[in-house]
Structure 1
Amino acid sequence: MQSRLLRALGWSLAAVLGVLGVAVFLLVVTAVKDAALPTRSKYGLVFDAGSTHTALYIYRWPTDKENGTGIVSQVEACAVTGPGISSYADDPAGAGASLKPCLDKAMKIVPAEQQRQTPTYLGATAGMRLLREQNSTKAEQVFAEVARTIGEYPVDFRGAQILTGNEEGSFGWITVNYLLETLVECSFTGQWTHPPAEDTVGALDLGGASTQIAFLPGTTIDDSSTRAVLRLYGTSYSIYTHSYLCYGQKQALKMLMASLHQGSPSPQQISHPCYPEGYQENVTTAELYDSPCVRAPSTPSPAQVLTVTGTGDPVVCSMAIQRLFNFSCGANRTCGFNGVYQPPVRGQFFAFSGLYHSLHFLNLTGGQPLSSVNATIWQFCASSWDKVQKEFPTTNRTHLRDACAASSYALTLLLQGYKFNHTTWLNIRFVRQVANVDVGWTLGYMLNLTSMIPSETPQRVVGLQRSKWIAATVLLAVMLILIFCLLAVICCQKNSGYESL
C-alpha cells in the first residue's frame, strides 16, 4: 500500500515538473522565435537642400527599437537633378518641381500603408542662408513652392527650414557618432553602457557655401557662441562647433577668382595658377560677382568679358588660396581662422562631403602621410591641361579644371585653417559612408526631430535578455533532471515489487 502511494506521488511530481518544464521550454522558444521574427519597419525622408545640389535620403528603422536602441539604415539616396534650390530665386516653382522625381522614387520604396506616417523634412543650409541675406522675400517664395510640392504627396511633412551653421555642425557630429556607436552600446547581457566620452570623434564637413568643424575638446570652451550642449542617452556632451559661411568649396573658389581678377594688371585678363597650364575660358564680371561672398569692385561692368588662362603653378596657387584667410589670432587666444575662437583639435576626426570628394579624386583618402598628400597635389597642379585630360578622359571638364584648386583648398583649410599638423593629420579619416549610410547632417537632423535618441539611457532592450534566457535554460535542464530521477526511482520501486512477488 505504501509503495503504491509513493509511486502515485512520484508520478504526480513528475507530471507537475513535466508541465512546468514544457511551460519554460515554450517560454524560451517563443521568446527566441519572437526575437527572430522580422519586425515592421518605419521610414523617414530628409531632403538635404545644399547650395550646389539637393539630395533625398530615405531612412528605415525597426519599430521596436524606435527609442534609440537600434541603428537606422539608409535605404536610398536620390540626387535631385539640377542646382540647389537657392538657384531658383527667380523661378520658385522650378525648385518645387525639381523634387518630384525623387519623391516619386520614395513612394515606390515606402509601403503605401505607411506613407502617411512617414516623417518628411527639408533642411536647407548655406545656399539658402545667403539667399535670405540677399533677398528674404525670394527665399520665402522658394520655401513656399518646395512645401507645396512635398505637401502633394501622402507623407507626414513636418516643414522646411534653414539650419544655422552650428546646427549643421552639431547634426553632422551626431550622425557620425551615432553610426559609430560611440554614444551608447549594448552589452551581451542586454544592458546599455556608455563608452568614454573620449571615444567620440570629431566631424569635418565641407559644403558648397560653408564649412563646419565639430568635436569634443579637452578643455573648457571659452566662447559660448561656439558651444553646443547635447544630452544624448543620459549623457551631456559639450562640443565645440562652428560654421564658416562663404568658405564652402564653391564660394571659396569664386572668392579666389575674384581675388585674382582684382590683383591682375589687366582688367580683362586673369592668370589662374590653380588651373592647368593651357586651359582657357571666358567669363563675365556678372558671373564672377554674383554672390554676397564676393566683394565686387566699386564700378563693375556686368557685361565685361574676362579671359581666364591657367598657368599651373602649385606654389602661386597655394599662396593665392592662403590669402583668402586671416590666420592671425589675438593675444592669449587660440583660433581657427578669421579670428574665430577654436580650441586645439583633439582625438579622431571623420572628414566627409567636399573634403572627401576633393581628395578622393586624387586617391588621397587612404590614410597617406601628409608628405605624400602634398607631393601628389603638387604634381597634379603642375600638370598641363592636355596631360590631365589624357589621364582623366571621362571626368567632367569643370570638375577636372577645379581639381587642383579644390584639393589645395581642402589642404589649406585643414592645416592652416583648422590647425592640423603632420602628427594630427593621421587622426583624420576621409569617408563618404559609415555603416553603409552617407555621412552628413541629415541623419542627425532626423534623429533629433523624431526624438529617436532619448535624453536618458534606455533601461532595457526588446526581447529576452541573454541573462534571462540562460536562467530559463538552466531551470529547464534542472526540471528535466528531476523528472528523470523520479522516473528512475519509480521504475526501481516497481522492479522491487515484482521481485518480492
Structure 2
Amino acid sequence: MFSPRSSNYERLEGGMGPSRLGVRNFAWKKLAIAVTVLVGLVWFFQPTERTLWGTKEPVWTGPVKTGIDYDPLPPPYPTPHEDDVAAPTHTTPSVPRPTSFESDPDPLKTVYCTTPHSSTTRLVQYALMIDAGSTGSRIHIYKFHNCGPSPTYEYEVFRQTKPGLSAYSGKPEQAAASLDKLLDVALQIVPEALRKCTPVAVKATAGLRLLGQAQSAEILAAVRHRLETQYPFPFPSAGADAVSIMDGKDEGVYAWITANYLLDTIRADSPPDAQRYAVLDLGGASTQIVFEPVFDTTKPDSALQDGEHKYELKFGGRTHVLYQHSYLGYGLMRARRGVHKLVDFMSTMRTSGGGRSEIANPCLSRGTKRVVDILGPTPDKDRKVAMAGEDIGGFESCNRVVELVMAKDAICEVKPCSFDGVYQPSLLDTFPNGKILLLSYFYDRTKPLLPTPFPDLTIATLAELATDVCLGRPSWEKRWAGNADALEELENRPEYCLDLTFMHALLRLGYEFGDARQVEIGKQINGTELGWALGAAIAMVGGELECKV
C-alpha cells in the first residue's frame, strides 16, 4: 500500500546533536536500575524465555483536551507516483492532474477550476511547513487550490538538511541560518506573486525540547527574526505559535490526520464504515502513538479516561475521540544512548573498574565494534567507551537489556498502562483488528531489509529480522545472499541490531501487540511524505491568512 524509500528523504542516521538534558533524564531511574540490575545480569548470561513484565495501567486524570475543529477537505485526487501504490480512488476530473512541481503546467493556476469558490480566497494557495526535528530540518512546500469551500491539497515539494537546530547549542544565529537552504528552495517553488501570501511555520519537535528552555528559546527567537527580516513569507494569523516547539500530542494527532486523510478514511466523502489507521511514529528523540479506541459500552468504566491523552478531533463532519501520547526520551537515538549507558553500568558491576579497553555489548551485531558516548552526571564526566558485539551479540540477550530500559514495570497509577507508567487503553480490547501504520525510523530500518514487493509484515517479522542482524555478517550473507542493497545497508552499522530489537520491544512489550499482528510501514502515499506536516498545514491554510505587507 505504501511506497518504497523516498529518494528525497534520506535516512536519519546519526544526527544526535549535543543535547544533554534529556539524555541524562533518559539514563534515568538509577534506583530502578539498581534494583533490577541483578536480574538483568542473570538474564544477560543465561538463556531464558522472554516474558512480558507486569500488567497494563495509566497515569493522570486531568481535563479533556479538545482538539481543532476542521472543515471537511475534498479529496486530493492524486495520480500515483511510479514508486507508489495508489491510495483509494475517486471519480476524478478528466483532465491532466499534476502530482509534482515538475508536472505542474502553471504553478499560479490549477487544473480544477478557473475561479475560486469564494471571492475572498485566492485560486491557488501555497503553505510552508518546516519540521525542525532532532536529526535534521525538513521543509514541506504544499500547493492547495480553493475550487471548493475549503482548501484542497494538490502536491508537495520536500527537502531536508542536517544537522537539526538542536546541534547549534549556544549558537542561535547559526541555527537560524541553517534553514536558509530550505527557504531558498521555497523561493524557487512558490511564484513571486504569491510569496507574500504564503504562510510559513517552523515546528520544532523533541530534539529542541531536550535542549532546555533557555537555549531553545534563543534559537527560536533567532529563527523567527531571520524569517521576518530575510524572507517574504508571512506567519499565519495565529503568529505567536508560528515558530515554536510543537506539543507532542499535536505532533501525533497531525500525523494521524495526514495518514488517514491520504488513505481516505476521514474525509467528508469517506465511507462511513472506513477503518481508520492507528499511527505510530518513531523519531530520534521521541515516539508517538495515536489511535481511535472503540469501547464496549455494555461494560462498566468502558470509556476513555479524561486527561491530556484524550483528544477530541472534529474533521470531515465527524467527531473522533483519539488516544494520543508522546514518549519523550524513547526515540531511537535516545534509546541507543540509554542502552549503551546501561550496558556500561552493568559492566562496572562485573569488573573492578580498571583496565577495561573494550566492553562486550549484546546489542551490537556480532563481530562489530563501536565507540559510543556515555554521558556522565555533568558534561565534564562524559566518556567515550569502546564496545564490541563479540560472541554475545544476539536478539534475545539484547532484548533483555532493552526490557530494562523500557520500564515496563514502572508504577501504574491509572490502569491500564503501556510502559513507563503511562495510561493507555488496551489495544487488544479497544483496537483488536484495526490497521496499524508505522512511520519514520520504523520504515527506515525495516524497508531496506525486506524483499520487493512487500511481504505481509507482522510483529514477529521484526523479531526475525533482528535475530539475523544481531548474529553478524555470516548471518547477513546467508539471509540476504544476492541482495547487495541490504548488505550495504547493514555495513558499518553495528547498532542495527539494537535498533530492530528496540522497535520490536516497543511494539511487543510496550504496546503489547501480539506476534501475529499485521502492521504496515510507510514513507509516502502517492508522492506525499507521511508524518505530521501535512496535517499541520491543513490546519494552517484552513484558518485566517494574512498577506505580508
Shared fold (TM-score, shorter chain, > 0.5): yes
Considering only aligned residues, what root-mean-square deviation do their CA atoms show, in Å? Answer: 2.9
| d(CA) in 2 for partners of 1:303, 1:179 | 45
| d(CA) in 2 for partners of 1:35, 1:207 | 37
- Residue 254, structure 1, aligned to residue 334, structure 2: no
Kept in 1, the 8 Å contact 2:278–2:291? The answer is: yes
Report the counterpart of residue 153 of structure 1 in structure 2. Answer: 231
1:244-268 residue CA offsets vs partner (Å, 9 max, x unmatched): 0100000011101001111103444
| d(CA) in 2 for partners of 1:161, 1:91 | 17
Match of 1:280 among 369, 383, 394: 369
Task: Could you tell me which runs of 5 or more consecutive residues in structure 2 were left unpaired when the two chains were aligned.
Answer: 1-92, 96-109, 116-122, 237-241, 296-302, 545-549
| d(CA) in 2 for partners of 1:180, 1:64 | 21
| d(CA) in 2 for partners of 1:422, 1:303 | 39
Match of 2:495 among 390, 402, 411: 402
- Residue 130, structure 1, aligned to residue 210, structure 2: yes
Match of 2:457, SS? coil
Report the counterpart of residue 249 of structure 2 in structure 1. Answer: 166
Report the counterpart of residue 433 of structure 1 in structure 2. Answer: 524
Kept in 1, the 8 Å contact 2:129–2:202? The answer is: yes
Tell me whether 252-261 or 86-95 shows the greater mean CA deviation.
86-95
Match of 2:135, SS? coil
| d(CA) in 2 for partners of 1:35, 1:45 | 21
- Residue 263, structure 1, aligned to residue 346, structure 2: yes
**Residues 301 and 206 of structure 1: CA distance in aligned 2, closer, same or farther (over 3 Å):** same
- Residue 199, structure 1, aligned to residue 275, structure 2: yes
Kept in 2, the 8 Å contact 1:66–1:452? The answer is: no
1:84-103 mapped onto 2 (5 Å cutoff): 84-103=164-183
| d(CA) in 1 for partners of 2:192, 2:149 | 20
Match of 1:64, SS? coil
Report the counterpart of residue 495 of structure 1 in structure 2. Answer: none
| CA positional deviation for 1:338 | 1.2
Report the counterpart of residue 31 of structure 2 in structure 1. Answer: none
- Residue 42, structure 1, aligned to residue 136, structure 2: no
**Residues 53 and 37 of structure 1: CA distance in aligned 2, closer, same or farther (over 3 Å):** same
Kept in 1, the 8 Å contact 2:304–2:425? The answer is: yes
Tell me whether 348-357 or 384-393 shows the greater mean CA deviation.
384-393
Match of 1:444 among 531, 535, 539: 535
Give the total of aligned pairs.
397
Task: Could you tell me which runs of 5 or more consecutive residues in structure 1 were left unpaired when the two chains were aligned.
Answer: 1-30, 187-193, 290-295, 454-501
- Residue 355, structure 1, aligned to residue 442, structure 2: yes
Match of 1:173, SS? helix
Report the counterpart of residue 418 of structure 1 in structure 2. Answer: 511
Match of 1:46, SS? strand
Match of 1:333, SS? coil
| CA positional deviation for 1:164 | 1.2
1:256-315 residue CA offsets vs partner (Å, 9 max, x unmatched): 1001111103444422112122322434xxx321xxxxxx46x88636442211232222
- Residue 382, structure 1, aligned to residue 471, structure 2: yes
Kept in 2, the 8 Å contact 1:175–1:444? The answer is: yes
| d(CA) in 2 for partners of 1:42, 1:436 | 19
Tell me whether 262-271 or 245-254 shows the greater mean CA deviation.
262-271
- Residue 78, structure 1, aligned to residue 159, structure 2: yes
Match of 2:417 among 335, 353, 364: 335
Bigger helix fraction: 1
1:101-140 residue CA offsets vs partner (Å, 9 max, x unmatched): 11111111111100111011100111111113xxx22111
| CA positional deviation for 1:181 | 2.1
Report the counterpart of residue 45 of structure 2 in structure 1. Answer: none
Match of 1:306 among 377, 385, 389: 385
Kept in 1, the 8 Å contact 2:457–2:520? The answer is: no
| CA positional deviation for 1:401 | 2.1
The amino acid of 1:318's aligned partner reads N
Match of 2:291 among 215, 222, 230: 215
Q: Could you tell me the TM-score, scaled by structure 1's length?
A: 0.73
Report the counterpart of residue 61 of structure 1 in structure 2. Answer: 144
**Residues 35 and 397 of structure 1: CA distance in aligned 2, closer, same or farther (over 3 Å):** closer
Kept in 1, the 8 Å contact 2:439–2:531? The answer is: yes
Greater relative contact order (CA < 8 Å, ≥ 6 in sequence): 2
| d(CA) in 2 for partners of 1:168, 1:129 | 13
The amino acid of 2:344's aligned partner reads H
| d(CA) in 1 for partners of 2:200, 2:414 | 46
Match of 2:406, SS? coil
| d(CA) in 1 for partners of 2:276, 2:476 | 43
The amino acid of 1:337's aligned partner reads F
Report the counterpart of residue 404 of structure 2 in structure 1. Answer: 323
Identity in percent: 28
Q: Could you tell me the TM-score, scaled by structure 2's length?
A: 0.67
Match of 2:173, SS? helix
1:165-203 residue CA offsets vs partner (Å, 9 max, x unmatched): 1111111111111112211244xxxxxxx5336622211
| d(CA) in 2 for partners of 1:114, 1:101 | 20
The amino acid of 1:76's aligned partner reads V
| d(CA) in 2 for partners of 1:277, 1:177 | 40
Match of 2:259 among 160, 165, 176: 176
| CA positional deviation for 1:349 | 1.8
